[in-house]
Amino acid sequence: MTNLEDFSARLSPKLNDLKGKKVFIFGDVGIDEYVQGNVTRISPEAPVPVVEVTETSKKLGLSGNVAANVTSLGGEALLFSVVGQDSNAENLKQLLESKGISTAHLMSDDSRETTTKLRIMSGQHHVVRVDYENKSPLSPEFFSTFDRQIEEGISQCDSVIIQDYAKGQINAHSSQKIIALAAQYNKKVIVDPYRSTPLSVYNGAHFMTPNRDEAFELAKQIPKPEIWRDVDRIGPEIMKTIQSPQMVITLGAEGVKVFDQGEVFHLPTFARKVFDVTGAGDTVIAAFSLGVAAGWNIQETAYLANVAAGVVVAQVGAVACDLKEIQASLTPAT
């Protein structure tokens, strides 16, 4: 494998390749709501802390954060997600529009509520998290009403993401329909899987980007216990199971492992400091989707994704990485 300095020198002038690339994102979306406050006493009504609120905020969550990363890296996100017909759907649309992300492809279902995760915090400590969500599977009948719009989006895009957070949007019917349409239009599908989703749901995707723990859980579906905790053996087995030519497993502070048909290579982390890994997986798959869209090979794309992940874990909270930060990371210090 080419050394890392050569990769930096090669990719730095190619970052403009990412600009304007269209990424079709199909996945669960939601809002991350934060209530920050101070705890100075215990409630007289029950043995629980009283949080005196000092600040509230709302951020894009789930696939919304993936779309924000695609946009901040210079691409255009075509976000196909299901929302309810409620106030949080309107809040979500406002958050997307503030990031320059179109809301034209949101699919509205009055039988569901818009996924929202409310975190009540004191300093860096979580007091409680409250989830508003409906995890029932998206019905084929509902999905079919958007068939034409979905096919048009895939035909116009440069790469496809399936982002699974187990909120009901990704199931065997919807995922296989997206993968089949992508194949019809010769678009590569990148999957960010959920640890307990049957691997058959992702059959035919070009590659997946689980983290190590997710890969360990997914591998348990394969009746070979000897591989279940062996990253080097998990990759090829999952590739064979879902009939994909490539596989990526992120390793946290240890970087990323990439499986390219018969070859395996490892990239160390580029993070100088690690403050918060929240949202790092969203950044990784966004960078991969743009590298694929630009026609980069798997090694170049993995390098880009690893650099982007190194940028976001050095910051607190789920944040989007931008091209300027990537460029700075690729430029040698003088």
Q: What pLDDT does 303 receive?
A: 86
Q: Under a CB-based contact definition with an 8 Å cutoff, are residues 250 and 256 in contact? A: yes
Distance (Å, rounded) from C-alpha 288 to C-alpha 303? 9
Cβ-proximal residues to 294 (8 Å cutoff; 6+ apart), any chain: 14, 17, 18, 21, 158
Measuring CA to CA, how many Å separate 177 from each of 202, 288, 324, 334? 11, 22, 36, 50
Q: What pLDDT does 12 receive?
A: 76
Report the catalytic residues: 282
Which DSSP category does 211 fall into?
Answer: B
Distance (Å, rounded) from C-alpha 192 to C-alpha 27? 9
Domain residue spans of the chain? 4-29+60-106+135-330
Sign of CA dihedral 273, 278, 282, 286: negative
Q: Under a CB-based contact definition with an 8 Å cutoff, are residues 73 and 311 in contact? A: no
| Average pLDDT per consecutive 10 residues, the chain (334 residues; last block may be shorter) | 63 86 97 95 96 95 94 95 96 96 95 95 92 93 94 97 96 97 98 97 96 96 95 96 95 86 82 49 90 92 83 56 74 54
Sign of CA dihedral 31, 37, 43, 45: negative
Q: What pLDDT does 320 receive?
A: 66
Helix (H/G/I), strand (E/B), else coil: 161: strand
Hey, which CATH number is domain 4-29+60-106+135-330, 3.40.228.10, 3.40.1190.20, 3.30.1490.190, 3.40.50.2020?
Answer: 3.40.1190.20
